[in-house]
Amino acid sequence: MHDRRPVLSTQSSHRPLSRSLLSARKFALMASVVAGLGAGAVGLGHGPFDLIATPAHAQQVGANVQPSQQPVGFADIVDKVKPSVISVKVNIADKMAKNEDREDFSLPPGSPMERFFRRFGGEMPPGLRGHRGGGMITGQGSGFFISADGYAVTNNHVVEGADKVEVTTDDGKTHKAKVIGTDPRTDLALIKVEGASNFPYAKLSEGKPRIGDWVLAVGNPFGLGGTVTAGIVSAMGRDIGNGPYDDFIQIDAPVNKGNSGGPAFNTAGEVVGVNTAIYSPSGGSIGIAFSIPANTVKAVVEQLKDRGTVSRGWIGVQVQPVTPEIADSLGLKKAEGALVAEPQSNGPAAKAGIESGDVITAVDGTSVKDARELARTIGAFAPGHSVKLTVFHKGKERELTLTLGELPNKIEASNNTDRGDRGGANQGLDLPKLGLTLAPASSVAGAGKDGVVVTDVDPKGAAADRGFKEGDVILEVAGKNVSSPADVRDVLAAAKTENKNSVLVRVRSGGASRFVAIPIAKG
């Protein structure tokens, strides 16, 4: 390549003229500069300005600037922790690729994680983007060693359905690995790398991070391997709709596809979380990523290592949050605890005497903030463990002791919302102030014998605002069973006479029960 400089003139006849003009301009410019400096010196100083004799007045830029302390970097921490992080490559048989419309094969269709990201309208978690070839799907994720003998943690959605797993360590070596066990409910998996017993490993943190703490995410984004990003803990206790055990750490360290299963380190070099998901309309990092807390990882990994599966304690109830309206309806001082929508037949809670409408406020003397906290607390105990529950029952507090069962792998629930031919059900009672039209359940085909059926909902009414829809069955109002629209009207009238602001209604919808607080019209 030639260094071609701009040509001012290509005609030789112009050169003497150009030089002459240039010389004249230089002279004029120098004269004006000197005159200006002299004038400035006279105007600003105490005497005439001597251009040659006063060089001492000039100062070197930065001569008197005091050096500041350099920001602390993360290089020393990275040197220590990076060797424990691995890239995970999997091969999945083509049977997983039957859905031709999906490019991301890390999540099975309809899984909770997939529903979460589709609900937000963004891309799938930072994990595996499958590539077809030779009847197999390949993908890449991340992980990290937790012991020198080759046990490593990654995400369930990274290795789910894998026929072959390989890991690449920080030194570039490739090893075969096998899946020891997985836990879809927390999206964690334990794998065992073969071939050595002196792998560098990371320590899971004993404590919880605080909002604002530094974190380092290390992983294999987009298959690049060995990438380190930094950020802070943005929030704690995030629920992203993955399940009842959601308790994610939100971080803003850039996390992308392929970081799934990789660790988030604190400045002590300990793992505070396992990166599992991002929210991203574009598919790349926008500073919102979610990590599974280290204490959850530790509890799950211990069981996976011992048995290959995870078993959790279970009390057998459908629970929901206690809203301020519900708390007011029940007479609770605080909107805390877990409201029992329905105890499962023959479950531990039902056998102990817990009923619909009870609020579980504490477990073994420790307060329960909400329904999710109850699920996490009970799930942390082993089946067969005995717990003492504090329950708010019909305006009074009582304590019950029960033995936990084992959480079923899958709880069957009826989702049949087809009520069939309603045969004149619209002739039921109107409750215009709530925006509901009701009919006895026994008069509506497919609605069962108990309660009253919602046959019409005014979209502008108070009931519609609280989620009522046609086909819902109202079983209780203010703790009393109802079997006719007149029963509902009478209970509401009594509540109005007692100057209550709202009443609690138990509703069955799609095979599941829930409580809804509806306002009492004062007019």
C-beta separation of 386 from 403 below 8 A:
yes
Report in angstroms the alpha-carbon separations of 262 from 70, 126, 334: 29, 10, 40
Whole-number Å distance between alpha carbons of 440 and 456: 13
The percent helix, strand, coil of the chain (3-state, each to 5) is: 25, 30, 45
The catalytic residue among 187, 246, 358, 487 is: 187
C-beta separation of 215 from 294 below 8 A:
no
The catalytic residue among 84, 87, 142, 157 is: 157
The catalytic residue among 87, 142, 234, 260 is: 260
The yes-or-no answer on residue 187 being catalytic is yes
Q: Hey, is 85 helix, strand or coil? A: strand
Among residues 455, 452, 448, which one has the least CA distance to residue 427? 455
DSSP strand pairing (203-204 vs 270-278): parallel
Runs of H (alpha helix) within 89-139: 112-119
Q: What's CA 438's distance to the chain center, in Å?
A: 39
Number of residues written out for the chain: 523
C-beta separation of 349 from 340 below 8 A:
yes
The yes-or-no answer on residue 2 being catalytic is no
Rg (CA), the chain: 35
Q: Which residues are catalytic?
A: 157, 187, 260
